Amino acid sequence: MNPLFNDLFIFEMANNHQGDVNHGLAIIREMGKIKRKYNINAAVKFQYRQLDTFIHPDYRNNTEAKHISRFLSTELSLDDYYTMVKATREEGLVTICTPFDEESVDIILKHGIEIIKVASASADDWPLLQKIAKAGKPIIASTGGLLMPQIDNLVSFLRHRTVDFAVLHCVGIYPSPDNVLHLNFLEKIIRRYPDVTIGYSGHEAPDNTDVAKIAIAKGAKILERHVGLPTDTIKLNNYSMNPEQVDQWIAATLQAKIICGNNEKSVTQAEIDSLLSLKRGVFAKRALKSGQEITADDVFFAMPCQPGQLTSGEFGRYRAKWKASKDYKLNEGVFETNPPDLYTQIRGIIHQAKGLFTEAGVVLGDNYEVELSHHYGLENFATTGCLIVNIINREYCKKLIVVLPGQSHPSHKHKKKEETFQLLYGDLKAQLEDRQYILKPGDQLLVERETWHSFSSEKGAIFEEISTTHFRNDSFYEDESIAALDPMQRKTVLEEF
């Protein structure tokens, strides 16, 4: 993600400066106050049109053509615009501008504006898009009025020009009623373009903060709204926010960010203690001797459960036998350490891998074999190893490799096999000899024969391995303790997955 896009709030000035540079500067100062109050990443967005050529000469005096009279009545000089651009920077705000013609792109570059915005009306204006892409600036594109195939075309166009870009879901109705917003669409385009920053450009009623909160919950990283400053003589339109409404909008969205948190769940000690007070503990139904096996007939479950006491869930979960580490009296709480349980450990690995496949949208089908690679034993699988799904092994071979969060695979090489990795999901760091590669989804990496290689993942990864024929005796490890093992000593083949 481009740092400029990170949790960005865009204050769209449009023509709300009313053609008065001093009024425009007043809006910018108000937005600067809000930016500093909440310490947010925020931008002011301008619109550039070269009206002498943008408007057909036969229509300059036409009062019936929509927007033309407004554009002409609020026209500013380039010097006035540059004055506002400089003021925006002085307020600590990012500068953004929407060009509506090719000449305006050149002026954006001359003014040193940081981000170019593509308006919904220009999102399929290919001559203008070509000019914008050549400018080499980060791009934010709105998609109001575009259907999915048209958005696909826009994303493909920008990807092929290797520019940094973000896409905003948008509805080009001013103001937008709730029934046309379709915020669930944010989830669809986030899944469809996982490498693209996705946001929301809103035109709903200015006192409506619910929409922005929902957009945050759906995953929007950029939010945009029209802003202005009413006076005794200036009345805002019905989709632009005054400074007080902007303040409320920012406060609401920041609260939504706190409520949504991140994609990982954390459990506090307070939550653990709270739930423990509701759990049933294990108590001795009869007197038990030290060393005695504890069976279900020897205990009963009741609350309250004390810290460190065996819970009913723990007692019933593990297949290993419980043994009393001391004598227990009738009705005494049982305090024992969870027994090592290979079955439960393997089932946990399977559930975690299945969860990654589901999250990644990877469907395995029915014909495959699963094995666990555990180079330092299953007890250390969480940190070293991987799960391998063997799909095809002929003259060509296909595998899917799951690397769990925080897991690494030790350095090794193959003498017979050449392989290519393609990351399907997650993050993967690969080391080939003395060179490190950071892979993102879609990236490929060729591992030639006799090449020492290792890999790891911070948050979990699934990658596809396509290779020549795989041979069980063709993996050679740098660590002598692993090299001394028979291949089947460091692998567990699973009959069920």
Residue 262 — pLDDT band, cuts 50, 70, 90? confident
pLDDT of 70: 79
Q: Report the phi/psi class of residue 297: left, alpha or beta, with left for phi > 0 and alpha for psi in -120 to 50.
A: alpha
Alpha carbon distance 458, 383 (integer Å): 11
Q: What is the pTM of this model?
A: 0.82
Give Rg (Cα) of the chain.
31
Q: Give the span between the Cα atoms of 355 and 405, in whole angstroms.
A: 12
Centre a 10 Å sphere on the Cβ of residue 319 and count the other Cβ atoms it contains: 10
Average pLDDT over residues 172-188: 95
pLDDT of 225 above 90? yes
Tokens of 301: 């479950």
Distance, CA of 152 to CA of 163 (rounded, Å): 16
Q: Which domains does the chain have, with CATH numbers?
A: 3-260 (3.20.20.70), 271-323 (3.90.1210.10), 343-494 (2.60.120.10)
pLDDT for the residue 488: 79
Top mean pLDDT of 53-67, 87-101, 265-279, 359-373 is at 87-101
434-490 confidence digits (pLDDT tens): 999 999 999 999 999 999 999 999 999 999 999 999 998 899 999 999 999 887 788
pLDDT band at 400 (very low <50, low <70, confident <90, very high): very high
Residues 6+ apart with CB under 8 A from 106: none
pLDDT value of residue 321: 82
Q: How far apart are CA 216 and CA 201, in angstroms?
A: 12
227 by DSSP, 3-state: which?
Answer: strand
Q: For residue 95, what pLDDT band results from cuts at 50, 70 and 90? A: very high
pLDDT grade, residue 403 (50/70/90)? very high
Interval 163-186 mean pLDDT: 95
Residue 415 has pLDDT above 90, yes or no: yes
